[in-house]
Structure 1
Amino acid sequence: MNILIIGGGGVVGQKLAKKLLERGQLDGKPIDKLTLADISDPAPVEGAETTTCDISDAASVAKAITPETDVIYLLAAIVSAHAEEDFDAGYRINLMGTWNVLERARELGTCPKLVFTSSIAVFGGEAPDPLGDWSVLNPQGSYGTQKAMGELLINDFSRKGFVDGRGFRLPTITVRPGKPNRAASSFMSSIIREPLNGQEAICPVGEDFLHYYLSPRKCVENLIKGAEIPAEDLGQNRCMLMPGRTWAIKDLVAALENVAGPEPVKLIKWESQPDIEAIVKGWRWDMHADKALKLGLEADASFEDNVRAYLEDDKPAA
C-alpha cells in the first residue's frame, strides 16, 4: 500500500501520517510507503518520506502522484479568509489544484482511492435547516464555492472510474495546535489554545454564536475510516458531511473551565471584529451527518473531550 498525503505539512496531514504509520495498515493492507507532500518541505514524520508538491502546477502534481500511488489524501487548500481576500489564488489552488490531482489520476489510468477534504462552507444562503447530505450546496463565499466545485469533480471522476473518490465536509477542527492561521474560524481554537498556554486570546463574536465542531483526533480517525468504506457503500454521491457537534461559544468556554479551571477563562477578551463576523455569521450550524454516522464515522462526545485531546496530544511542554 502506497499512500500520498497532499497537504502533509498541515496539522491534520501530520497527525494523519503518524496515525497511519502507528496502525501499519489501511483497509487490511500493510503500508509499504507513506509520503507527505506540501508546497514546501513538510516537517518529517518518522517512517514517512517527504516531497514538495504545488497542486496549482500540473507538472508538480505529476511528479508526486506516480503509477504506484494507491491512496491519495487531498488535504491541501488555502483557507476561508485567504480565499476570500485573494480571489485568483483561491481558484488557482482550491479549484484548479483539485482538477490537477484528478487529471493526473485519470492520465495514469490506475483508479487510485482519493479522499478529499471539503468543508461545511459549501452550505449557506437559503437552503432550509436542518442541513444534511442531500441539502442543496449554496456557498456564500469563494472558499465554499471552490470546495463545492471540487465535490462535483470528485463525483464525476468517480462515476467515470478515473478515481475511487470520497469527500468529507469537515466541521471546524478545534482545538488546533500551533499558531492562528488565516481562516476566519481560527479564533475558535485560539480562545481555548492560548488560554491553556497562559496567553490572552480575542473572541470576535458573542457568546451565543453557534457553530459545528470536531477535534483533530476524531477528524483523523474519520479520514482513516472514510478511506476504508467500500466503494459500493458510498452510493451515487461520494461526498458527505463528516460528523461533528454544534455548540455555542459559551459552551466552549464552559468546557474549558470544566477541564482546566477558571484561570484560563480570564484570559479570553471579548472584542467584536466586524470583518470576521461578516464571514462566520453566514455559516450554518444545524448539521446532520446521517450518512457518515451510518458508515461508522463519529463525532466527539463532548467539547470537554476536544479540550482534553489538545492537552494530551498537543499542548507544549512547560
Structure 2
Amino acid sequence: MNIVITGGSGFLGARLARTILAKGSLARDGAPPTPVDRLTLLDRVAPPPDLAADPRVRTVRGELVDSLDALAGAHLVFHLAAAVSAECEADFDLGIEANLRAGYALFEACRSLPERVTLVFASSLAVYGQWPGRPLPEVVTDATLPTPRTSYGTQKFILEQLLTDYTRKGFIDGRPVRLMTVSVRPGRPNGAASGFLSGIIREPLAGQRAVCPVPAPTAVALSSPARTIEGLLRVAAVSMEDFGAPVAMNLPAVRTTVADMVAALAEVAGKRAADLIDWAPDPDIEAIVTSWPARFDTARAHRLGLAADPDFASIVRAFVEDR
C-alpha cells in the first residue's frame, strides 16, 4: 500500500507515520491489512531523523500545491496539513491559501488519479461556534449544524462539505473527521488558539512557567495524541458502509475544565508544577475557545469501536511516560 500524509513532519503527522510504520501493514476501506510499501510525507519542513532514515519513507518538501505530483500511485491519503486557528485569525489570506485553496487542489489531484483514493481529512471541532442568539445545544452531535466563528473553522467546514460532494460524485472515497483539541502536544508551542491547553501541562512538567489565557472554569473537549491517531486509522480502515454517510464524524473527547486539568497536573507531578501556571486573561483567545462546544455525543464513532480517554489525569500520565 502507498500512503501519503500531508503535514507529515508535524507532531500529529509524524506520530501517525511512526504508528503506521510500526504496524507494517494497514487496513483500508473494509479490506484486510496489506503491507505498507511506501509512506510519503509532504510538508514544508524536514521530517524527524528517524522517519527520514526509514527506507519505506519518501519525503517531499515544499508548499502542498507544488507537491501534488507525489500523490501518484497513492491508495490512502491523510490530509493533516493546515494553517492553525490563531494564524488564520491574524492573517485571513494565509488561511485561504494554506487551507482552502490547498485543500481544493489536493482534492482535485486525488480526483485525477486512475484509482479511487481513500482520503481521511482532519477537520476540527472549530467548525462549531456560539453566535449571539444562536447558542449551540448542550450536547453536540454529528447532526448539529456547524456555525463557525473563526476563519479557520469556516475553512475546515467548507472543505468538509466539498469532500462530501466529491465522495457523492464518486471522485474520492472521502472520510472527513472532526478532531478534538489534542493534548498534550510535545515540542514547541504552535499558533493555535488552543495551544495553551498543552502548554499549561507541558511547560510545568519541564520546570518552566506557562500562561493560561482563559478562566479556570472554562470547559473544553480534549483527546490524547494516542486516541486521535487511533481514530484516524480506524476511520481509514472501515468500509464506507460502516463509516456511513460521507459527512463529517466527530471523534470522541473527554470533557474537562481548565481547573480540572491543573488539578490533574498537580495529581501527577505535584503542586509545585501547578504553581508554575500564570493566569493572564486574553480576551481574543477566550472568545475563540469558549465558542467551541465541550460536550459531544459521538455514538457514530462509538459504533466503530472508538472511545474517549478515561480522564485527563490518564492523558498527563501517558505524556510523562512518553517523554
1:134 to 122, 126, 143: 143
3-state SS of paired residue (1:308): helix
Q: How does 1:38-187 map to 2 (within 5 A)?
A: 38-44=43-49, 45=51, 46-47=53-54, 48-55=57-64, 57=65, 60-66=66-72, 68-125=73-130, 126=134, 127-187=136-196
**Residue 287 (structure 2) pairs with residue 281 (structure 1):** no
CA distance in structure 1 between the aligned counterparts of 2:58 and 2:238, rounded to whole angstroms:
26
TM-score by length of 2: 0.93
Which residue does 2:30 correspond to in 1? Answer: none
* Matched position secondary structure for 2:22: helix
Residue by residue over 1:256-288, the C-alpha shift from the partner in whole angstroms, topping out at 9 and shown as x without a partner, is: 111112221111111111221122122221222
Residue identity matched to 2:101? M
- Superposed CA deviations along residues 56-82 of structure 1, whole A, max 9, x for unmatched, are x2xx2432211x111101000000010
CA-atom RMSD in angstroms: 1.2
Match of 1:216 in 2: 225
Residue 26 (structure 2) pairs with residue 26 (structure 1): yes
Distance in 2 between residues matched to 1:156 and 1:97, nearest whole Å: 17
**Is the Cα–Cα contact under 8 Å of residues 109 and 162 in structure 1 kept in the other structure?**
no
SS state at 2:112 partner: helix
Question: Deviation at 1:53?
Answer: 4.1
Question: Over residues 173-221 of structure 1, what are the superposed CA-to-partner deviations in whole Å (9 max), with x where a residue is unaligned?
Answer: 0000011111111111000000000000011111100010001111111
Q: Secondary structure at the match of 1:4?
A: strand
Q: Percent identity?
A: 43
Contact 2:222 2:253 in 1 (8 A): yes
- The equivalent of 2:2 in structure 1 is 2
- Spell out structure 1 runs of 4+ moving beyond 3 A: none
Contact 1:61 1:101 in 2 (8 A): no
Aligned length: 310
Aligned to 1:244: 253
Within a 5 Å distance, the mapping from 1:193-212 to structure 2 comes to: 193-212=202-221
The structural deviation recorded for 1:129 is 2.6
1:308 aligns with 2:317: yes
Which consecutive unaligned segments of at least 5 residues does structure 1 have? none
1:226 aligned to which of 222, 235, 248 = 235
